[in-house]
């Protein structure tokens, strides 16, 4: 029998790759996790106090990294989609979700970290700079809490660190001389962190180069994937909820509700929605959440039509009456009778909606109305990259490619699912 590559093989490969390349990071996170567990028992209130988004993010990713394989082994019979045959678009979509979950493990850089612009600004891919570590104050008599704080700051890198210096080149002799562009500076050895008596100097590699703030493009791309997918999922879920609820209400109650909601839907359909989005974002300000909400409330129309159509047709059939007579609630009716019937077209629609939303977010960012430069979304990266297209092609090329590939994967998966559900086209 011929061996066929399945989605699970791909995921296993990704998992192993992370272990091979990021074992140091994984190890650090693990020790942080244990440190936190320890703190949890020693000083509960302090443990709650230090709980931050960053910490949750890291620990959650780590937990999933450890437990997902175990879960798979337990539930492998149920998770049949993982046994599906691998193709390009599925591989890409699963990679994206992989990045979404494991971003902090894939890169431990902070996407906002920026320092010594003279050295780090607009570096091409695969370039490297030297890092000098300044000596820290000697910590003494540490409590559990202080220890944990220190470990946290070392592991989860903050967006700012005054203890390190980036330099183009370093010469170590009696003292340490380092160069930043044309500027030459000098430090005494005892001002630096020492390792075996010699100053501890590291190389820092920028895999995909840096942007105009000297921030690591690779880290930004990885976290940008998170933002873009987050916007995509958020808006799709919102559209889904609005579409389903309004569709059900309109179809079920009929009458004036139905007419009004239909008019409303037509209103949304009869107008290039992008202007409405631009209008709202420009007038009321744009943030991550306003973008999600606006995109969410501009995409529910088709779902509404699907659900409403199905509800109306079911209403005329007998089993609804029997379902009502045995006392099913409306919500149960929705969940048990209607959703399963419309599931297929809804899923196809959601996939297309997802690609629309990602595209729309990028387009909005391109117009300067997106999530802004505060979050590293792909659209924002393309937007800032466009300004530097002649000097730093990498700034626009990588997020641009990521966007095209994602849209392609989403569209082609959508078509594929559509074909499976509607075999009409396939003879």
| Residues 269 to 328 in contact with other proteins, rule: CB under 8 A | 269-276, 278-280, 282-287, 299, 301-302, 305
The answer to whether residue 396 forms part of the interface with other proteins (CB under 8 A) is yes
Q: Which is nearer to other proteins, 163 or 330 (CB)?
A: 163
The answer to whether residue 134 forms part of the interface with other proteins (CB under 8 A) is no
* DSSP-assigned beta bridge partners for residue 184: 179
Query: For residues 148-187, which are near other proteins according to CB under 8 A?
Result: 149, 158-160, 162
Q: Which is nearer to other proteins, 292 or 403 (CB)?
A: 403
Q: Which is nearer to other proteins, 84 or 285 (CB)?
A: 285
DSSP assignment string, 270-308: TS-HHHHHHHHHHHH---HHHHHHHHHTTS-HHHHHHHH
- Which of 103, 333, 350, 403 lies at the binding interface for other proteins (CB under 8 A)? 403
The answer to whether residue 407 forms part of the interface with other proteins (CB under 8 A) is yes
With CB under 8 A as the rule, give the number of residues binding other proteins. 72
- Which of 96, 372, 376, 381 lies at the binding interface for other proteins (CB under 8 A)? 372
The answer to whether residue 123 forms part of the interface with other proteins (CB under 8 A) is no
**Segment contacting other proteins (CB under 8 A): 5-13, 131-139, 267-275, 326-334?**
267-275
Backbone φ and ψ of 52, nearest 5°: -125, 170
**Segment contacting other proteins (CB under 8 A): 19-27, 185-193, 235-243, 363-371?**
363-371
* 320 contacts 326 by C-beta, under 8 angstroms: no
* 180 contacts 115 by C-beta, under 8 angstroms: no
- Minimum distance from residue 149 beta carbon to other proteins (Å): 7
The answer to whether residue 86 forms part of the interface with other proteins (CB under 8 A) is no
326: nearest Cα among 340, 316, 336: 336
Q: How far is it, in rounded angstroms, from Cα 364 to Cα 277? A: 9
- Minimum distance from residue 269 beta carbon to other proteins (Å): 6
Beta-strand ranges (E) seen in 29-145 are 127-133
- Which of 267, 321, 335, 343 lies at the binding interface for other proteins (CB under 8 A)? 267
* 129 contacts 196 by C-beta, under 8 angstroms: no
282: nearest Cα among 176, 16, 274, 411: 274
**Segment contacting other proteins (CB under 8 A): 18-26, 136-144, 217-225, 408-416?**
408-416
Query: For residues 196-225, which are near other proteins according to CB under 8 A?
Result: 212-213
Which residues, 6+ apart, have CB-to-CB distance to 84 below 8 Å? 6, 7, 90
Site string for other proteins, 9-48 (x = CB under 8 A): ----------------------------------------
The answer to whether residue 226 forms part of the interface with other proteins (CB under 8 A) is no
Backbone φ and ψ of 309, nearest 5°: -55, -45
Query: For residues 335-354, which are near other proteins according to CB under 8 A?
Result: 349, 352
Backbone φ and ψ of 36, nearest 5°: -65, -40
The answer to whether residue 136 forms part of the interface with other proteins (CB under 8 A) is no
* DSSP-assigned beta bridge partners for residue 169: 179
Q: What is the dihedral of CA 298, 355, 68, 45, to 10 degrees?
A: -40
């Amino acid at each position: 029998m011929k061996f066929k590559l399945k989605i699970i093989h791909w995921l296993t490969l990704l998992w192993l790759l992370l272990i091979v390349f990021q074992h140091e990071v994984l190890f650090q996170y693990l020790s942080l996790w244990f440190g936190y567990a320890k703190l949890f028992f020693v000083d509960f209130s302090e443990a709650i106090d230090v709980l931050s988004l960053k910490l949750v993010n890291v620990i959650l990713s780590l937990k999933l990294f450890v437990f997902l394989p175990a879960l798979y082994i337990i539930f492998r019979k149920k998770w049949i989609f993982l046994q599906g045959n691998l193709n390009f678009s599925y591989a890409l979509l699963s990679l994206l979700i992989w990045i979404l979950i494991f971003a902090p493990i894939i890169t431990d850089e902070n996407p906002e970290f920026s320092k010594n612009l003279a050295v780090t600004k607009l570096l091409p891919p695969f370039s490297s700079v030297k890092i000098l570590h300044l000596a820290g104050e000697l910590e003494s008599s540490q409590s559990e809490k202080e220890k944990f704080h220190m470990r946290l700051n070392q592991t989860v890198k903050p967006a700012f660190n005054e203890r390190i210096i980036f330099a183009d080149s370093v010469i170590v002799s009696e003292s340490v001389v380092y160069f930043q562009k044309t500027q030459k500076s000098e430090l005494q050895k005892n001002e630096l962190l020492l390792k075996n008596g010699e100053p501890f100097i590291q190389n820092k590699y920028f895999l995909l180069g840096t942007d105009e703030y000297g921030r690591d493009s690779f880290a930004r791309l990885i976290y940008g994937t998170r933002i873009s997918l987050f916007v995509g999922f958020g808006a799709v879920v919102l559209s889904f909820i609005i579409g389903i609820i309004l569709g059900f209400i309109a179809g079920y109650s009929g009458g004036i509700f139905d007419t009004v909601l239909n008019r409303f839907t037509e209103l949304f359909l009869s107008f290039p929605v992008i202007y409405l989005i631009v209008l709202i974002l420009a007038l009321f300000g744009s943030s991550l959440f306003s973008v999600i909400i606006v995109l969410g409330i501009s995409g529910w129309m088709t779902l509404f039509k699907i659900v409403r159509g199905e509800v109306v047709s079911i209403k005329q059939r007998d089993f609804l009456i029997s379902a009502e007579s045995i006392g099913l609630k409306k919500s149960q009716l929705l969940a048990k009778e209607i959703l399963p019937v419309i599931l297929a077209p809804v899923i196809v629609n959601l996939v297309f909606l997802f690609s629309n939303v990602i595209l729309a977010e990028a387009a909005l960012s391109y117009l300067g109305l997106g999530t802004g430069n505060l979050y590293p979304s792909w659209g924002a990266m393309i937007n800032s990259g466009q300004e530097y297209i002649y000097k730093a092609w990498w700034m626009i090329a990588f997020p641009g490619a990521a966007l095209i590939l994602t849209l392609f994967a989403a569209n082609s998966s959508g078509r594929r699912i559509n074909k499976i559900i509607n075999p009409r086209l396939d003879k």
